[in-house]
C-alpha cells in the first residue's frame, strides 16, 4: 500500500475503511538537544517518556553548562505518534542522548524508515554519534538545528560542513517546542526517505 492509494475499498459489496499506513521514524541527537520536547510537542497521544532525575553523579558526567535548567534525562526512549493524514500515521521513537545508553539504539531504530538528528549549534560535537550511526547503517536522515531561544550560532552551511554530511542530507532550522515546526521537520525526513526508496 502507498499513501496515495484510496482509503476505502469494497469487499463483498461493503465499503471497508483502511487504517492509515504506520511509519516509524527515529528522533536522535545529543544530550539535552530537544528530543523529548519535540516528541511531546507533536504527539497526538500522551507521549511515553523514560525520564529520570539527573543525579549528582550524572551531572558530573553530562555537560549541563548549556542546559542549566535541565533536571531530568531520557534513559531508554521517548514514544509518540501523529496522524499526518487519513493515509499515514507516524510513530516516533526518541533515543537517549548519552553515549552510555548507545547499546539501546539498534533495538530502537529497528524498522525505522528514517531519522531526524536534532542539533544544538553551541555543541555540535554532541550529535556526531547520531550522524555516524545513521550514515553507517544507510538510514536516510535529516539534520534539524534547534533554535534555542530563537538563536542559531552557525549558518546551515557551516553546520553541514562541521558535520561533514553530503549535499543530499537535508539540513534545516526548527523549534522543538512548536508543533508545526516539528511536523515540518518530520515531513522533510519522510520525503527524503521516500525519495531514497524510489531511486
The Cα–Cα gap between 39 and 33 comes to 12
pLDDT in tens, 111-124: 999 999 999 988 88
Taking CA 18 as the corner, what is the angle to CA 13 and CA 21, rounded to the nearest 5 degrees? 160
The Cα–Cα gap between 74 and 81 comes to 18
Residue 95, pLDDT > 50, answer yes
CB 147, CB 174: distance < 8 Å: yes
Q: What is the DSSP string of 173-195?
A: EE-TT-HHHHHHHHHHHHHHHHH
- pLDDT value, residue 59: 45
Q: What is the largest CA-CA distance in the chain?
A: 66
Residue found by looking up cell 549549534 in the block: 121
Chain mean position to CA 95: 8
Contacts of 196 (CB under 8 A, 6+ apart): 140
Check residues 13 and 148 and name the one with the higher pLDDT.
148
- pLDDT value, residue 170: 97
- pLDDT value, residue 198: 75
Check residues 27 and 125 and name the one with the higher pLDDT.
27
Taking CA 117 as the corner, what is the angle to CA 173 and CA 89, rounded to the nearest 5 degrees? 90
Residue 29 gets the label, from left (phi > 0), alpha (psi -120 to 50) or beta, of left
pLDDT in tens, 124-175: 888 899 999 999 999 999 999 999 877 787 899 999 999 999 999 999 999 9
The mean pLDDT value of the chain amounts to 82
Amino acid at each position: 500500500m502507498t499513501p496515495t492509494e484510496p482509503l476505502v475499498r469494497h469487499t463483498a459489496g461493503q465499503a471497508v475503511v483502511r487504517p492509515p499506513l504506520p511509519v516509524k521514524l527515529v528522533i536522535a541527537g545529543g544530550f539535552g538537544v530537544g528530543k523529548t520536547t519535540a516528541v511531546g510537542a507533536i504527539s497526538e497521544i500522551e507521549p511515553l517518556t523514560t525520564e529520570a532525575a539527573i543525579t549528582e553523579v550524572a551531572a558530573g558526567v553530562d555537560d549541563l553548562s548549556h542546559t542549566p535548567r535541565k533536571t531530568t534525562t531520557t534513559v531508554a526512549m521517548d514514544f509518540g505518534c501523529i496522524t499526518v493524514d487519513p493515509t499515514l500515521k507516524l510513530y516516533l521513537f526518541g533515543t537517549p542522548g548519552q553515549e552510555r545508553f548507545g547499546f539501546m539504539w539498534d533495538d530502537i531504530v529497528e524498522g525505522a524508515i528514517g531519522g531526524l538528528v536534532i542539533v544544538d549549534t553551541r555543541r555540535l560535537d554532541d550529535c556526531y554519534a547520531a550522524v555516524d550511526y545513521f550514515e553507517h547503517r544507510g538510514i536516510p536522515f535529516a539534520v534539524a538545528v534547534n533554535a534555542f531561544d530563537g538563536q542559531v550560532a552557525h549558518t546551515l552551511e557551516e553546520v553541514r560542513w562541521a558535520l561533514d554530511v553530503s549535499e543530499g542530507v537535508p539540513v534545516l532550522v526548527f523549534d522543538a517546542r512548536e508543533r508545526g515546526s516539528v511536523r515540518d521537520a518530520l515531513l522533510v525526513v519522510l520525503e527524503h526517505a521516500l525519495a531514497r526508496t524510489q531511486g
